[in-house]
Amino acid sequence: MSVLRFAPSPTGHLHVGNARVALANWLIARRSGGRFLLRLDDTDTERSRPEYAAGIEEDLRWLGLDWDGMFRQSDRLDRYAAAAERLKAAGRLYPCFESEEELAYKRERARRQGRPPIYDREALKMTPEQRARAEANGKRPYWRFLLSSRTISWRDRVLGERAVKLPALSDPVLVRADGSPLYTFTSVVDDIETGVTEIVRGEDHVTNTGIQLDILEALGADPSRIAFAHLPLLTDERGEPLSKRLGAVSLRQLRRDGVEPAALAGYLAALGTSADPVAAMPADLAAGYDLGAVSRSPARFDMRQLLALNRRHLRGLPFEAVKDRLPAGADEAFWLAVRGNLDLLSEARAWWDVVRGDIAPPPQPEEAAFLAEALRLLPESFGEGAWREWTQALSAATGRKGRALYRPLRLALTGEAEGPDMASLLPLIGRARAAARLARAAAATDGSHPA
């Protein structure tokens, strides 16, 4: 059985890059009949927050994702400590005492000498007496993993053949001086013990994968039992890294703005492929999801494309699907009238104010006579055909047609130059409200124009 996981750190809100990774793992697990685990990487106690952890769960459920198991790394510290002891006993985890300042000096010296700024393994040369003396002087060791002198390679399900030259890297710190383990280490321990069979994550983790495969083997596991796939990173509309402005595309903000989960899921599932996105919840996307269709090139996250998909999705939603999220009092007639003009569901509020609130139409002093005539001919009955009958009578009386006929009326009645079909809006606005707005617009004068 396939086992996949999503492992966010509860140090902030989920953004679309996180969501894309979570969705890909979930779709693969569900398509194969496997298991999907949620792991909270919360060993960074200074930055991890309970409210962020709760927010991650909430955002994932909103997107339509569930999980077959969930755990926090902070509850497994004993497992990491035991694994660290095994590595120490095998001579693969060794203590270091250099301060940050000393390490920075070493890196700078290596650069000046034309050498790569990797750790020089000086700590391995320390005798037991020197270590004891350092600790007696108040120094507490942090622990580095002794990387193998080889190249780690694997066939990536997205990027193809990949290799990491371990001798070109610094031995990674796996345990801090205070005894707390780091992600590079804890992730491997968890993946082994939870039976993960496939890891799908961002391309920025390629080097981590090489290191973690070495750690995995050092812990006695078989590296070939886990397949890897690295998704190319997202860029914005200009091709710039999206990570620079992730706050603008957090799932929480998209939810508040009114983006539908089906639109976001469908867009993220198709991102980086040649397929046209189709708005659908993850449960309906799983059967057709193919990781092999994802391009090796960076994927462009275009908010305009997402909003276009959201608009198409909203246009087809029935009233029952949105009624709980519409303004109080909004009925099916209102929804059917406005849904084709919404990029975001939140925009329905503005149109509810148009049909039931008090708006201030823009001044149209040059149209005063026309609007006065429109008010005179305003029908008493506001049935289904009221707009057509009214505008036909007004056209016959004034000789106006097209834009000259319709635009002043729309501005006076809605305050907007564009919007939903007026034949549907007019009955919702009602005669009394329409008459008051026409009278106000006809009487309004703009101080910027001479009387």
Q: What is the Cα–Cα distance from 354 to 133, expressed in whole angstroms? A: 78
Which of the residue ranges 153-167, 177-191, 319-333, 353-367 would you say has the lowest mean pLDDT? 353-367
Average pLDDT for 109-122: 92
**What's residue 450's pLDDT?**
36
- Residue ranges of E strands in 125-238: 142-145, 151-156, 160-165, 173-175, 198-202, 227-231, 234-235
pLDDT tens figures, 51-100: 999 999 999 999 999 999 999 999 999 999 999 999 999 999 999 999 99
Question: Is the pLDDT assigned to residue 15 strictly greater than 70?
Answer: yes
**What's residue 247's pLDDT?**
53
Share of the chain above pLDDT 90, in %: 86
Q: Could you say which architecture CATH assigns to the domain 1-73+232-316? A: 3-Layer(aba) Sandwich (3.40)
Average pLDDT, the chain: 93
Domain ranges of the chain: 1-73+232-316, 320-354, 358-443
Q: Could you say which architecture CATH assigns to the domain 358-443? A: Orthogonal Bundle (1.10)
pLDDT tens figures, 47-59: 999 999 999 999 9
- Residue ranges of E strands in 182-300: 198-202, 227-231, 234-235, 299-300
Rg over CA atoms, the chain: 31
> pLDDT confidence of 444, banded at 50, 70, 90?
low
Q: Which of 123, 100, 199, 124 is nearest to 158 (CA)?
A: 199
Q: What is the Cα–Cα distance from 378 to 383, expressed in whole angstroms? A: 12
Average pLDDT for 196-211: 97
Q: Which of 4, 81, 86, 6 is nearest to 39 (CA)?
A: 6
Return the higher-pLDDT residue of 245 and 175: 175
pLDDT tens figures, 264-318: 999 999 999 999 999 999 999 999 999 999 999 999 999 999 999 999 999 999 9
Question: Is the pLDDT assigned to residue 245 strictly greater than 80?
Answer: no
Q: What is the Cα–Cα distance from 120 to 115, expressed in whole angstroms? A: 11
Residue 37 is classified by DSSP as E
Backbone torsion region of residue 329, taken as left when φ is above 0, otherwise alpha when ψ lies between -120 and 50, otherwise beta: left
Instruction: With beta carbons less than 8 A apart as the criterion, state whether 171 and 146 touch.
Output: yes
Strand arrangement of the beta sheet that strand 142-145 belongs to:
93-96, 142-145, 173-175
Question: Is the pLDDT assigned to residue 12 strictly greater than 80?
Answer: yes
Q: What is the Cα–Cα distance from 281 to 315, expressed in whole angstroms? A: 16
